[in-house]
Structures are given as C-alpha cells and as structure tokens.
Amino acid sequence: MNYSECLAYLQKLGDEVLTMKFGLETMRTLLGALGNPHLKYPSLLIAGTNGKGSVARLLNSIFTACGIRNALYTSPHLIKVEERFVLDNRPIESETFAHYFARVVDTISRLEFSSHPTYFETLTAVAFLYFSEQKVEIAILEVGMGGRLDSTNVVDPVLSILTSVGLDHQRFLGGTLEEIAREKAGILHEARPALMAPQRAQVRQVFLSEAAKKKVTLHELDSASIEYLGSREGKYAFRFHGSEFKLQLYGQHQVESAALAVQAVEILRNHGFAVSATCTQKGVERTQWIGRIQVLGEDPTVVLDGAHNLDAAEKLVNFLTLHTRPPRTLVFGMMRDKDVGAVLEILRPYFDRIYLTCINSPRAATIDELKSLLPSGVCVDDPFAAYCQALSSSATTVVAGSLYLVGEILERGRRAGSSAELALEASQPADKKG
C-alpha cells in the first residue's frame, strides 16, 4: 500500500467517533498477531476531559530535552494523520507511516474478527508497532475517549495520569460526572502509581475509591506549591518545587498542566527514569501545542482554539478577557453530539459578531442547527471564507468550537499563504524551522 491507498483505506473505515466501539478484545487479538508490540516498552497513559493533550505534549518535550527516546500518540490530528505519531518531537514521515499501516492492514486481512478494527483501533495498532520497532524508551499515550475500554488501555502503564474531568461525550461515557469519572478511572492499573489533577469533589471521590480497590498509589497534584509569577502576553511564568518556568503555551490553565507534567516526572524518577530538574525546565519551556489557544500575530490578533466543551469554553473566555482587546469576532463550528447551545451561551457575550459555519464532517452541526441556537449569528457555509471575513472586521479574531474546524482553517490558510500558516510554523521544533 502506498500513502494514498492508506488514506483511502482509513476513509472507508468511517468517521473516527461515529464508528468508535468500546472494548479491548479486537485490540488484543490484533496486537497478539503483531507480536504484542505494546508490551515491549514502558508507557504512560493520560486520560481526562481537558488538558490531557497538553500534559502529553509537555512530557514529550521534557523527555526529548533529557535525551530519552520517547514516543507520543495523540488524537485527533489537525491536518495530516502523521501528526498522531511523534518520535522525539518529530512526526512520522508519510512513507514510514504507509509502511507500518500496510503491515497492520495485512495482519487484519489474515485474522477473523467479530467486528472489524475501527479507524482508531487501526491507528493505535500502527502506533504500538512503530514505537516498538523504533526502540523507544517510553511511550506517552493520550487516551482517545473515556479510559476503561479505550484502545490505548491494553498497556500496563508505569504511570497513569488523570487530568481535569468535566462533562463531555455524555452520549458515550454517561450523563453524570460520576459515570464519566468511572470510565476515566479505568486507566488505573493494579498496584501501579497514578497522578491526578485537582478535581470536582464527586470526581475525586470516584478516583480515590477506584484507586483503593486496585491498590494504586494515587498522588494528587501539589497545587499549594504552585506560585504564579505573572504573565507576558498571556504566557505565564510560575514557580513549582524549587524551579521557575516560563511557558510558551498560552493561558493560565496551562500552569496546572505544566505542574502536572513536572510532578509526573518526579514520580518517574523513582522508576528508573533519569530526568534532571534542568532538562525538565528546558522541556517545559520549549513546549508548544498547536490549536490550543494558539495566538498568531497582531492587528488583528488571531486565536485558534479547539474548545468544544463547557470547561474549555470557560478557559478560552478567561484568556480572551485578560489578554485580547475588543472588538472580537468569533468563527464557530461544532459537532452536534456536543453541548453546542451551552458552549455558545458561554462564548456569546464576549464577541461583537459571531460567524456560524459548518465543518466538513458527518458529525458537524449544520448551519441551520447553529442558527436556531444563535439567531444573531452570521451564516457563512465555507469556514475559510468566514475566517477571512472575520479578519477584516475585528481587533481579535477567534476560531473555536472544534479541533476539526481549527485544522480546516490551518490547512486552507497554509494553501492560501495566510497568517494561519504562522501557526504551523510555530508548532515546529526549533531545529526544523527555516
């Protein structure tokens, strides 16, 4: 299979979320046929509603700064599927991806399954195989959805990390915080250590209960030791456990993510990982994460954010209030299986104009559906056209509601040579720029 054939095969598997199924039987069968590559190196599992991608990226940057050969697996991708498979801070090459993908597909074709491996299961198997043959010293795995029955949860993690949990994916995970928390707590493994971010009381109680059942040493983020040192243009500095950090990530909420990554590394030192305080600081300060309150240029300021749930929307408006100036214009699109009305209700007061647009996905809310929730919205079918219109009418232009929307704007912007291309440039490691 060449690269184009791999993408065509993936497309035939259907939408990543709509076709998702919970359960580990298919993954275990497929990985067994591949020689169980996921068991040939230590792994970290990271689950949560918000912040899991940032913590994963921070750890990737820390290990890379320390010279530890590490792999990162995240989802979804913004533009190219290769973004999901990162080795030492570099995404997989297209030809290399095709090589490993073809091997996984060939294995699938020779096996009998009660249900065919899904989009996410197939890519997760590719990640495990690729990481194994690249001789990684540790793999950082962002859980796709939930935790207990997610395809990544076939590993025996050296550490599980639970980021902030809120309401999201209720259709799949349950309608209450307790139900969602129980699914997330599924990444806690018998007698293995874990670390959790500050949680709502009912979520924290679920995590403590599940940890006790499994004899898990559950560490909590030492929030009392975080000392905020102010910010510069929305990038925060802080002191934690004897070191000072100046983030390249935007938003006060990223301080918690960074502290969580630092404390995770401290725990891992007790498990044989030689991660010094100096290279931890370097790794944290070099971390960038495209599409997560990503700020581009000035006049107008452009903010790209995948905010797609209530907690993420609150973090976005907090950042906008503190670090951008009016008038503000929003380009908004969202998946209909999200709480679209509630997110719009949070965002609406902070914008002088809101463009409603439709993402290229079968899950996307239609223009009419969005208009029914926000009659004052300006309807523009094409997301990039909406973005271009927004640029001409505000001091601050924000693209939010879905990472898929952010990805679409970035891809079109790169082709058009617009300022959105700066986000792609900013996301590259320093040694790959220019």
Please give the pLDDT value at position 171: 53
Burial 8-37 (b: 16+ CB within 10 A, else e): ebbeebeebbeebeeebebbebbbeebeeb
**387 shares a domain with 241:** no
Please give the pLDDT value at position 65: 95
For residue 243, give both structure tokens.
């070191």
**198 shares a domain with 56:** yes
**280 shares a domain with 315:** no
**264, 286, 308 - which closes a domain:** 286
Give per-residue pLDDT as tens, 234-260: 999 999 999 999 999 999 999 999 999
Average pLDDT of 57-86? 96
**239, 255, 286 - which closes a domain:** 286
Burial 87-111 (b: 16+ CB within 10 A, else e): bbbebbebebbbbbbbbbbebbeee
Which residue is associated with the tokens 């969580």?
260
Reported confidence tier of residue 430, pLDDT bands at 50, 70, 90: very low
pLDDT at 432 over 70: no
Reported confidence tier of residue 299, pLDDT bands at 50, 70, 90: confident
pLDDT at 418 over 60: no
Which structural domain range is residue 332 located in? 294-432
**305 shares a domain with 264:** no
Share of the chain above pLDDT 70, in %: 94
pLDDT at 338 over 80: yes
**342 shares a domain with 239:** no
Can you give the CATH number for the domain in which 304 is found?
A: 3.90.190.20
**175 shares a domain with 316:** no
What DSSP string runs through 354-416? Answer: EEE---SSTTBPPHHHHHHH-TTPEE-SSHHHHHHHHHTT-SEEEEES-HHHHHHHHHHHHHH
Please give the pLDDT value at position 326: 94
pLDDT at 106 over 70: yes
Q: How far is CA 317 from CA 249, 284, 304, 314, in A?
A: 16, 24, 12, 5
Coil, strand, or helix at residue 209? helix
pLDDT at 393 over 50: yes
Q: Which of 13-17, 226-230, 311-315 has the lowest mean pLDDT?
A: 13-17
Average pLDDT of 414-424? 55
Structural domain count, the chain: 2
CA–CA distance, 295 with 228 (Å, rounded to integer) = 21
Please give the pLDDT value at position 174: 55
Across the chain, mean pLDDT equals 91
Most confident of 10-19, 26-35, 408-417: 26-35
Please give the pLDDT value at position 176: 86
Coil, strand, or helix at residue 194? strand
Average pLDDT of 153-180? 81
Please give the pLDDT value at position 229: 97
Task: Record the pTM.
Answer: 0.92
**103 shares a domain with 249:** yes
Please give the pLDDT value at position 167: 63
**121 shares a domain with 160:** yes
- Closest by CA to 299, choosing from 394, 420, 414, is 394
Share of the chain above pLDDT 90, in %: 78
Give per-residue pLDDT as tens, 183-203: 899 999 999 999 999 999 999
Q: How far is CA 30 from CA 34, 72, 122, 186, 365, in A?
A: 6, 21, 9, 21, 34
CA–CA distance, 395 with 397 (Å, rounded to integer) = 7
CA–CA distance, 124 with 38 (Å, rounded to integer) = 10
**286, 311, 339 - which closes a domain:** 286
**230 shares a domain with 352:** no
CA–CA distance, 172 with 196 (Å, rounded to integer) = 22
